[in-house]
Amino acid sequence: MTAKKKNKLSKDHINQLIKSKAKELGFFACAVSKAEFFEEDVKRLESWLKKGFHGEMGYMKNHFGKRTDPRKLFENAKSIISVLYNYYPKTIISEENNYKISKYAYGKDYHFVMKKKLKKLIDFLHKETGEFNSRAFVDSAPVLDRAWAARAGLGWIGKNTNLITKKHGSYFFIAEIITDLELEYNEHRVPDHCGICTRCIDACPTSALKPYELDARKCISYLTIEYKDEKTSDTFKGKLNNWIFGCDICQDVCPWNRFSKPHNEPEFEPSAELLKMRKPDWENLSEKQFDRIFKDSPVKRTKYKGLKRNILFQKSG
């Protein structure tokens, strides 16, 4: 089949090819939205930034236009293919006499794992449809991942500000491919199913959450990863609940996560050494051990110095 002939495939047929291949690659959901100016999210983002809720994450202010209009990020953008990838672990690391890291950081860095899968999806589409331009994003550029996934009908953004699905909860990664391929677009949004529930807001020990809004400056994930000062504010003494990298509280208490099922990704499995670690092991962790245990891990983001700061803050609290 020639490239010219391939390009005559219907939009609907290409959509089906995309979803079928995405499923084969392990993504449990895939949908397409039109790449255009996202007016409703502009107001939300502007309000959030004006309140200073982004804290030291100055990059959230950068490239505002690109963040709210993908056509400014990727020339000739017509479609956004959003995909979801489960990371809910088979084994939860014991919390007994232990510090805690977020479930997404148990294994290999998701950026590496998902980028490889998105490349395979793009390569497959080139074979099926001929030439087109595209770019894959895994939480690595000014892209409003949750907003585009919600717009594509993959879930709703809950009161804890996470994307939630009725069948899978919220323990999943979001990624997207922006392309100049013109495709069929999903126009059916998922309604909000949070109802009157406020469990996520009530459970947050630092009061970082209001309905549908997060003050990152108080968020444990922000404080243990994004916050770069040498010392964590004493305001949070006794409130970080042994979290030293990230936090899952607002997801753990969400009723929709009772539907979470263990992932099938070997690269997300925690190492035997990580599973065995307890408080004394963390407290005595050397930089050499850190580099070995967390090679290619999301935990590398906080660096050895940052992780030790978090551990010492918890120990002193």
Cα gap 218→223, rounded to integer Å: 7
Comparing CA positions, the residue from 137, 45, 36 lying closest to residue 82 is 137
The β-bridge partners of 134 are 179
**CA pair distance 218, 81, nearest whole angstrom:** 32
Of residues 12, 123, 139, 192, which has the active-site annotation?
139
As a whole number of angstroms, the distance between CA 59 and CA 75 comes to 21
Strand partners, 243: 100
Residue 195 Ramachandran class (φ > 0 left, ψ -120 to 50 alpha, else beta): left
If we measure between CA atoms, which residue out of 174, 77, 178, 182 comes closest to residue 136?
178
Q: Does residue 139 have an active-site annotation?
A: yes
CA nearest neighbour of 256 among 190, 174, 159, 164:
164
Q: Do the Cβ atoms of 311 and 143 come closer than 8 Å?
A: no
Residues acting as catalytic residues = 139
